[in-house]
């Protein structure tokens, strides 16, 4: 694997180079100090993978990654950064992984293995699939200081919880700092609003029931307690359930 290291700090580049020299099958093809240099070296060196910092002067890593996607055969991108604030944007830019500094040898080796050729071709497919930006396949959440990726296909529902949104799967729940409105717009084909505070996955709707007070509630597969449907949305949900069951 030919790897281009991109970081504005020389010590950080040197540390990554030392780790890569210890890993079998890895060759450092060059180093860049910002996004513009990274694009220039990518064009001339044709690396397989970029280890790309995010916060850099001039062109940052996120912008560089977006430009890379316009190439006929873009390299895989693994972000290496001291900040976890950019994880969502990183994966929207089709990053293969997101490593927090100081980067550990074992974690880097795992990321490189997954970012090799098959994943690189998958990135091409994502780029070519549509002219419009595709919705994410994963939601990124910060859990006890580490980043957790949740497959959107595993999510049963989103529920607003004060200034956060709770993401619920059969494995548990995590909080993310996104708005329910933005999630509804992004995942309109996969989730439907049932209440001002909740979106549910269409694919997991099992039926519509009534509680003791006569209020409509949606039953989701894998979720014990049905969720309340507001009067504003009950007619739409009833039609959807009928269509799903028919």
Burial of residue 90, with CB atoms counted within 10 A of its CB: 0-12 exposed, 13-18 middle, 19 or more buried: buried
**The two three-digit tokens of residue 211, written as one number:** 């509680």
Mean pLDDT taken over the chain: 87
d(CA 5, CA 28): 7
- Asked whether the predicted pLDDT for residue 145 surpasses 70, the reply is no
Range of the domain at 23: 2-129
pLDDT-derived band at 146, boundaries 50, 70, 90 = low
Residues 8 and 114 in one domain: yes
Residue 61 exposure: Cα atoms within 13 Å on the Cβ side = 30
Residues 85 and 187 in one domain: no
Q: How far is CA 7 from CA 56, 79, 124, 170, 194, in A?
A: 7, 10, 24, 39, 46
pLDDT at residue 84, as a whole number: 83
pLDDT tens track for 171-192:
999 998 889 999 999 999 999 9
Number of H helices, E strands in the chain: 8, 15
pLDDT at residue 147, as a whole number: 58
Number of domains within the chain: 2
Read off the CATH number of the domain in which 54 is found.
3.40.50.2300
């Amino acid at each position: 694997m030919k790897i281009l290291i991109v970081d504005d700090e020389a010590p950080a580049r040197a540390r990554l180079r030392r780790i890569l020299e210890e890993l079998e099958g890895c060759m450092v093809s060059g180093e860049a100090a910002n996004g513009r240099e990274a694009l220039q070296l990518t064009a001339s060196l044709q690396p397989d993978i970029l280890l790309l910092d995010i916060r850099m002067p001039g062109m940052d890593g996120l912008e560089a990654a977006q430009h890379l996607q316009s190439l006929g055969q873009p390299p895989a991108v693994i972000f290496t950064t001291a900040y976890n604030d950019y994880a969502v944007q990183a994966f929207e830019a089709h990053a293969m992984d997101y490593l927090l500094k100081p980067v550990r040898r074992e974690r880097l080796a795992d990321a490189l293995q997954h970012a090799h050729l098959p994943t690189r071709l998958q990135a091409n497919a994502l780029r070519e699939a549509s002219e419009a930006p595709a919705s994410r396949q994963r939601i990124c959440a910060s859990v006890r200081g580490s980043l957790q990726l949740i497959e959107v296909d595993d999510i049963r529902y989103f529920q607003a919880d004060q200034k956060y949104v709770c993401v619920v799967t059969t494995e548990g729940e995590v909080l993310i700092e996104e708005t329910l409105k933005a999630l509804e717009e992004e995942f309109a084909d996969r989730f439907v609003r049932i209440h001002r505070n909740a979106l549910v996955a269409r694919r997991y709707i099992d039926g519509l029931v009534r509680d003791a007070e006569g209020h409509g509630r949606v039953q989701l597969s894998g979720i014990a307690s049905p969720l309340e449907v507001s009067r504003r949305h009950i007619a739409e949900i009833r039609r959807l359930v009928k269509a799903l069951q028919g």
